[in-house]
Amino acid sequence: MRVGLDFGTTNSSAAVYDGSRLTLLPLDPVSSSPSILRSTLFITREGAAYIGRAAINHFTEGNVGREVVYEWKYLGDAEMTFAELGTQQQALYVKVEVNAPGRLFRSLKTGLRDRSFRHTNVFGISYSLEELIAIVLRLIYERIEASIGQKVTGMVIGRPVHYAASREADALAFERMQAACRLAELPGVTFLDEPIGAALAYAREVRSAQHALVFDFGGGTLDVTIMRLDGRGRRQFIATDGVPVGGDLLDQRLVMGRLMPHFGEGATLGARRLPFPTHVLEHLSEWQTISDMTQPKYLEIIDEAVAIGDRTKELKALRSLVRQNYGLPMYEAVEQTKVQLSEADTAVLGMHMGEIDFDETVPRWDFERLIGPDVRAVSACIDRVLATAGMRPKDIDVVLRTGGSSRIPRFIKMLAEKFGTAKLQEMDVFTGVASGMAIAAYERA
């Protein structure tokens, strides 16, 4: 049996196709939507691995609200030679976090393009990025086989048109993804551009000749493809393009644009009124980097700021955010606010936990201001793919929106301005790509 897999930055899904019927597979039995698996990984101190909603639940239960505690750990003795004193034995110690029950990883796919992300230490064991992704892929693979009740003989896995803006980083990301698949021992893996997968799912139902543009906007990337359908089942892919703009980046815009003052931005320290170090607050730009702030060197800076700073409430909130692992709840609240702004003109982004206590009213117009650069980057990507195809907006008959970020009103407005509202059509937002991968898997058998 050949299957299709959409391994996404935020969500993953899988499907099978038998030539007439598409079936989405239940990858996450814990989730309220079993066919949609959150692309998360949780590794316990004992080495057990969980993915999806179970990963988030384990992290939340064991980490959120837990005070970070460090202790000095003895590493051993080392010989040190000094010119005047000769050779002496020196005991080596390091501060380690002693009470963390596990480590959570999100948006691992985004890390593929980051050359600096090579290894990370998880309770004394070093994991490469490829190894972490392989754990997720292997567990997904095992769930697929359990669901279909037979061996998987081949897989078509979706990939962004471009993992990164530069050719070098894009090539690196794809090499690492291929390596992860090998480590996971996935059988017969081939790759297909994600928007092409979405286009295949759409083409299955079309009986008229047309040009379709697929707008696939997920958590990590925006991908676009133009396809020609002849109305008799034949299709031709004319052009594809993409940019590394996705839902995770839009979340960061909200955090950095609206929440920084609630965590000490603008605070001054001591009698000399020195500014609070901006490099500390820059760690709030990603959920993963907030956990970096639990290192003793950052905790010491924050503790001192609380003691001598002039924005005590906000600096205590920062301390609580870091020391009590509230970074994940913050980013989940930000994501929910972003979703609400797709339905309403304003939304309230609130946090009331530990020493964090605020309600930030976010108007949609200001969110759209914050994501202005991203809207322009996406618009330019569409213009490029049209130019590559030698087409103009009027030549496109239908614009297919898929991916969770494709529901954001500012991007819908941008598409309407280019192509006209009547041409816009929403596909299965979270599973359309997986369906197309399953079709491709069937056709490649």
**Backbone CA torsion sign across 175, 119, 57, 250:** negative
Of the candidates 35, 40, 18, which has an alpha carbon nearest to the alpha carbon of residue 150? Answer: 18
| Interhelix angle 432-443/194-203, nearest 10 degrees | 80
Query: Would you call 362 helix, strand, or coil by DSSP?
Result: strand
Alpha carbon distance 356, 347 (integer Å): 19
Q: Is 147 left (phi over 0), alpha (psi -120 to 50) or beta?
A: alpha
pTM for the whole structure: 0.85
Alpha carbon distance 106, 433 (integer Å): 20
Pairing of strands 154-159, 189-193: parallel
Q: Are 28 and 56 in contact (CB under 8 A)?
A: no
Q: Which residues of the chain have pLDDT under 50?
A: 72, 74-75, 93-95
What would the two tokens of residue 146 be? 């359990």
Q: Which residues of 58-77 are buried (b: 16+ CB within 10 A; e: fewer)?
A: bbbebbeeeebeeeeeeeee
Alpha carbon distance 137, 431 (integer Å): 17
Pairing of strands 235-243, 222-230: antiparallel
The secondary element (H helix, E strand) that includes residue 292 is: helix 287-292
Of the candidates 173, 180, 130, which has an alpha carbon nearest to the alpha carbon of residue 155? Answer: 180
Beta strands (DSSP E) in 289-373 are 346-353, 356-363
What is the architecture, at CATH level 2, of domain 2-67+101-192?
A: 2-Layer Sandwich (3.30)
Of the candidates 154, 114, 161, which has an alpha carbon nearest to the alpha carbon of residue 133? Answer: 114
Q: Phi and psi (nearest 5°) for 51?
A: -125, 165
Question: Given this model, what pLDDT does residue 64 score?
Answer: 79
The residues, ordered by sequence, that sit 6+ positions from 196 with a Cβ below 8 Å of its Cβ are 214, 225, 227, 237, 240, 436, 440
Note the pLDDT tens digit of each residue in 279-298.
Answer: 999 999 988 889 888 888 89
Note the pLDDT tens digit of each residue in 302-352.
Answer: 999 999 999 999 999 999 999 998 999 999 999 999 999 999 999 999 999
Taking the CA of residue 343 as centre, how many other CA atoms within 13 Å lie in the half-sphere pointing to its CB? Answer: 6
What would the two tokens of residue 1 be? 């049996």
Burial of 225 (0-12, 13-18, 19+ CB in 10 A): buried
Alpha carbon distance 317, 300 (integer Å): 15
Cα 355 to Cα 254, 278, 312, 322, 424: the distances in Å are 21, 21, 11, 11, 45
Side chain identity at 331, as an amino acid letter? Y
Side chain identity at 17, as an amino acid letter? Y
Q: Phi and psi (nearest 5°) for 56?
A: -65, -40
CB atoms within 10 A of CB 385: 23
In this structure, the dihedral spanned by the alpha carbons of residues 444, 199, 213 and 190, taken in order and rounded to 10 degrees, is: -40
Burial of 247 (0-12, 13-18, 19+ CB in 10 A): buried
Residue 178 CA to chain centroid, in angstroms? 19
Task: Considering only CA atoms, give the Rg of the chain.
Answer: 24
User: Reduced to 3 DSSP states, what percent helix, strand and coil does the chain have, rounded to the nearest 5?
Assistant: 45, 30, 30
The residues, ordered by sequence, that sit 6+ positions from 34 with a Cβ below 8 Å of its Cβ are 26, 27, 28
